[in-house]
Amino acid sequence: MRPMENSAPAPFTFMKMHGLGNDFVVIDRRQGGPELTTALVRAIGDRHTGVGFDQLATIDPDEEALARLTFWNSDGSLSGACGNATRCIARHLINETGLKSFNLRTERGFLACEDAGDGLTRVNMGAPLTEWQDIPLSHAMETLHLDIPGDPVATGMGNPHLTFFVDDAETVDLAGLGAKFEHHPFYPQRTNVEFVQVLGPNAIRLKIWERGAGITLASGTCSCAAAVAAARRGLTERRVTVYVDGGQIGIDWRDDGVWMTAPTAHVFTATFTPDFLS
């Protein structure tokens, strides 16, 4: 008799990265790799029995860009954009290829990436979306002043955002309010929720609740959306330093898009076992 074939899934490697504590599992599939399912993403995202992450990102080949990126939240849902993960992967590809600038493709389209020097990585996250149908919201409304207690702003950065301005960001009930407003009926795809304290014309303090992930130490798209909301309200200039729990991010809203600059870290590379994958 022939021995039984081993039907266990083949192991594969991944990278653990973070941008200011906003952490990611990154799977490079340019030479082949696993097909992800909601169940597998959730298993990997469990911080007790898996690896844990705020988002998971895959790198795939692309004919027109250096690579194509896809993002998942820790609850297994897809995320249209992830700025800090894009920067982390851009830094990995800068180190791998020696290139100083290139494009990556995401659901938002092509994002320009560049080496900003001193170990910093800069990404153009594209133009902010400020029309209700593009964010998207449930029906036509003024996005600069939503009819929600607290007078928040709606913004799209390839994913939806709801930004509140507060006197003291440190005293906000982030867990309670974040979970509540993530599911607000104005947002058919749920939303990221930000609480912003304006520190001056070029600085804001930001507390973040990410859609599908919860409280995070940092978020690239949330930082972009918060800076855009503050500038649209006339509370800051278009170039600001955003202070998040994990550090600081430079946001520059230019004519060609919202540019984001900050450090990244590649923590380790490891391999999932067949037992875990099965």
Catalytic residue ranges: 82
Q: CA–CA separation, 155 vs 137, rounded Å?
A: 10
210 in a known ligand binding site = yes
80 in a known ligand binding site = no
241 in a known ligand binding site = no
Q: Which two tokens stand for residue 214?
A: 């919860």
83 in a known ligand binding site = yes
Q: Give the chain's end-to-end CA distance (angstroms, integer).
A: 26
Which residues have C-beta within 8 Å of that of residue 249, sequence separation ≥ 6? 20, 218, 220, 223, 241, 242, 260, 261, 262
5, exposed or middle or buried, with CB in 10 Å at 0-12, 13-18, 19+? exposed
159 in a known ligand binding site = yes
Extended beta strands in 92-223, E state: 101-106, 109-117, 120-124, 153-156, 160-165, 192-200, 203-210, 214-216
Which residue type does 6 have? N
55 in a known ligand binding site = yes
192 in a known ligand binding site = yes
User: What sign does the dihedral 223-228-233-239 (CA atoms) show?
Assistant: positive
Which residue type does 248 have? Q
Question: Residue 129 gets which letter from DSSP?
Answer: B
Q: CA–CA separation, 37 vs 251, rounded Å?
A: 34
Residues comprising the binding site for substrate? 22, 55, 73, 83-84, 159, 192, 210-211, 220-221
Residues in the annotated binding site: 22, 55, 73, 83-84, 159, 192, 210-211, 220-221
